Every structure is written in C-alpha cells, then in structure tokens.
Amino acid sequence: MFLRPLFFFLFILLGQYSFSQSYTPSPSNLEARKWFSDAKFGLFIHWGPFSIPGSGEWVMNDRKINVKNYTLLERFFNPTEFNAEEWVTAAKKGGMKYITLITRHHDGFSLWDTKYSDFNIMNTQYKKDIVKLVADECRKQDMKLFLYYSLLDWRREDYPYETGRTGQHSGRTGKGDYASYLQFMKNQLTELLTNYGEIAGVWFDGHWDQTAPEGQEDRTSKIDWKYEEIYGLIHQLQPQCLIGNNHHLSPLPGEDFQMFERDLPGENKSGLSFQQASDHLPIEACETINGSWGFNLSDTTYKSPKQLIEYLVKAAGLGSNLLLNIGPMPNGEIQSEFKERLDSVGSWLETYGESVYGTSAGYIAPQSWGCLTQKGNKVYVHVFNNDGNDITLNKFPYKKIKKAYSLADGTAIKVKISEGNAIISSKSDVDELNHVIVLETAD
C-alpha cells in the first residue's frame, strides 16, 4: 500500500525534473536572445475596450463590473482613428527596436480575429484585425513584434477564478475547469503564432493571480499552469520566439528572458520585485510614462524626458532593456503627451544611441552622479548630475585610457588613472539631458 503512493510521487517528481532539464534553446532562439539584449528599448502598448472608461486597464476589476455589463463595451469600441503606421512610426521615432502589443488582457477581449472567443475585435463596429494590421506594419517598417497574452481571465467560467486573487466580482457562478481553459489558451496562441508571420516573443502576465502576494515566503501557484505544454507549443511553432512571464519570480524552465515590473533589476520600489536578476537570460524592465498602463483621463503625472532618458540609461547600465508603455486613447490616437516624450527620447538617442544600443552593464552599479555602459573597448560615462565635481571610477578594470571625449561633439575630457581609480575632470553641461563621456581603453 505504501509503494504505490511512493511510486506515484517519484513519477511526478521525475516528470517535473525532466521538464526542467528538457528545454534546449534552438540556435535561432539564442540568436534572438542576443538581438533582444542589444535592442535595449521597446514600446509597450496597453489598449482595448478597457480604454473607454478612461480609468486604466483594471477598470473591470476595480469597479467590480460584472461580465454582462462589461461586455457592453464591445458595442462602443470603434477606434476610427487607429493607424498602425502611425503607431509603428512613433516607436521608430522614439528609438525603439520592438513593440509589445496587448493582444488579450485580463478582461478577456481579443484584439484579433479569433475563432475561440466571441469577445473580440471582429464583433465590434470596427471589424478589423488589429493584430494583423500592427504585424503587417511592423514587418513593413522592420520592427520586431512581441505579443502580450494574459494567463488569467475575468470573464470565462472555465478559468479557475475560485482560487484567483482578482476578478471575484464578475458574477461568475460556474466551476473552473483548467483543462478546458488550457486548451482555449493553446488554441489562441496557435492562432497568434500561425496567422501573423514571425513573432519575436510572447509576454505572459497573470501568473500572480494564483499565488500569495509578492513578498510572501511561499508563492507557489495554486494551479499547475502546464507551462511545459504552453511553452513547448510556442517553441514548436516558432523556435526563435522568446518567452517571458511576468510572474514576479525567478525564471522558470522554458523561459527565454526575465522581466521586472516598474522596477530596474535589483530594485524593489514597486513592491513586486523580490526576485534576483538572472545572470544568464536577457532582462527587461517595463515602466509607464505617467502612472497608468491603460488610458487614464485623470492621470497627468507625466515623467519628464530627462527622467525617461535616465531610466533608459540606468536600465542599460544594469544590462537591462526598457519597455516603455503608452496607453492610446479609445479612438486609437496616441495622446500628445506621449508623442512628445517619445520624440524627445528618440532625438536624444540619435546623438547618444551608441552608448545604449548593443552595450553591456557597467562594471559598477549606477551611482548618484549617473551610470556606466560598456561596449568593446569603450566605457560610456553617463553624467546625470555631478554638481561640477570630479567623477571617480573606483577599481577601474583597465590599465590605460587612450582617449577621453564628449560623445556629443568630440571635445577632449581630462582623465587620469591614480591608484587603480579613473578620475574624470568634468562639468556636466546643464543644457544636456545626459552628458555622455567616452573612455577608450586598453588593457
């Protein structure tokens, strides 16, 4: 009687071990990881029927709207001003190398022509496949496309909402059936990875709905998501496709990059990021321009161009990408405050892009005066604010500095190495959003 339970336990354990050991990234996937690490800057787009009330993407949950009433938004969603060319062009002008588009958020609305849900863009007055329009335009403008896909659903009866942390006021009375819900997700993911050309990555969200809150010791999921099936399907359909999961945990087997929400790696200002940064996977931090992901009429807390540039540079200084979010208006327009800031960051990158794209983390962490990025024999010193003081780079890992100059105009900068430290004599130009000094080194 004891042997059978023991055998069953060992079978499950070995199965889990087998999954953890079985994923070997394809050569195209490894190449895609390298590209992703070098890209450094992407555009996140939160948009859908949740944009209509103007209270952010969590409006269904926050206002405790039931499924019947929330579904009425489908009748009002008619984004006549949506223009895929303008969206992708805005990203390119902003210096971004990829776009991550919401395809299905927690409210369950699908932005594409799906056969597996009636709550989708084709049943609105608009009747055009948004994912196709964006995918086609990305291909036309040589922009990589990632697709955001929610693992949780506030509408479907088969989602295991009984054990979820959110969506408890949507009026559902049925019983969750994860086998059914898993098949639904696999069907939709197959559509997304079959009908829209090459997809650079899938950005999952919602795992945390089935765990204890961030910061608690045990954050084991209350359900088995069957990631070996989900991730395996994606890598089978498109081996190069990168998988990331916003579970606020260390990377799980089968994932190709790690993400941090509203935090840079090593920080936890949001209260969501207790995990350590991976030392072998690409890393991405996502952040908003104001305080909201989805369109919010009352949120005017816009970050300045200087703040956004410094955040991008600090991310690069930590070896991370920055995925910067916009929440377009319900009619499909990108509001002027977002456009202006994207343009400002893009203009800065036209001059200073070499100090961000393709760089690795600085050998020291960001400091009060700024931070470092590195590429080849060049160390880029990003000066945010040094109050006119010399900058000391302790334990400088190079024996010689062949040349030191301002990246903006090539002006020579005085620098010396003393007792293993590099000392830069520099006053930051107050007219520059970020003064970048280049140190060309030799061992």
Q: Where are the alpha helices (DSSP H) in 151-203?
A: 178-192
Q: What is the pLDDT of residue 174?
A: 94
Extract the runs of DSSP E, i.e. beta strands, from 152-292.
201-205, 242-246, 258-261, 283-288
Tokens 């103007």 sit on residue:
54
Q: Which amino acid is at 433?
A: L
Q: What is the pLDDT of residues 392-426, one digit of tens each?
A: 999 999 999 999 999 999 999 999 999 999 999 86
Please, are residues 199 and 145 in contact by the beta-carbon 8 Å criterion? yes
Residues of the chain with pLDDT under 70: 1-21, 426-433
pLDDT of residue 46: 98
| Residue showing tokens 């939160």 | 46
The answer for residues whose C-beta is within 8 angstroms of residue 307's C-beta and 6 or more apart is: none
| CA pair distance 348, 405, nearest whole angstrom | 18
Cα–Cα distance for residue pair 282/250, rounded to 1 Å: 13
Q: What is the pLDDT of residues 198-248, one digit of tens each?
A: 999 999 999 999 999 999 999 999 999 999 999 999 999 999 999 999 999
Q: What is the pLDDT of residues 173-195, one digit of tens each?
A: 999 999 999 999 999 999 999 99
pLDDT for the residue 426: 67
Residue located via tokens 């960051």: 345
Residue 305 in contact with residue 53, Cβ under 8 Å? no
At 86 the pLDDT is 98
* pLDDT of amino acid 434: 79
Confidence (pLDDT) at 432: 67
Local structure of residue 78 (DSSP, 8 states): -
Q: Could you tell me how many helices (H) and strands (E) the chain has, helices first?
A: 11, 16
Strand order, beta sheet including 201-205 = 242-246, 201-205, 144-150, 98-104, 41-45, 320-326, 283-288, 258-261
Q: Is 173 left (phi over 0), alpha (psi -120 to 50) or beta?
A: alpha
- Whole-angstrom distance, CA of residue 339 vs CA of residue 342: 5
